[in-house]
Amino acid sequence: MMPEERRDENRSDELKKLASIATDMQLVNKMRIQAINQLGILGSHESLLVLLNLAANDKLNSDERDLALKKAREIVKKGR
């Protein structure tokens, strides 16, 4: 496996883990918020898509959905 493929696979795994944490209602709110913030820090197109999915997830509370949308918006603004 090429180093770039390994990096992409690791990034994909990280995104899946963060998305899982962000939607795990068994976890405390603070941990879900940290996962959302981390997705915003990653700033990739893939993390943008995850954040938009979180913003559309009606199982999350409105503050978490708003934060996901805010972080997605910040990624879009950086891309201009």
- Please give the residue range of the domain that contains residue 49: 3-78
Angstrom CA distances, 49 to 3, 9, 39, 68, stand at 24, 17, 10, 10
**Domain tally, the chain:** 1
Q: How crowded is the C-beta side of 68, counted as CA atoms within 13 Å? A: 25
Residue 80's pLDDT is: 64
Query: What's the mean pLDDT in 53-80?
Result: 95
pLDDT digits over 43-52, tens only?
A: 999 999 999 9
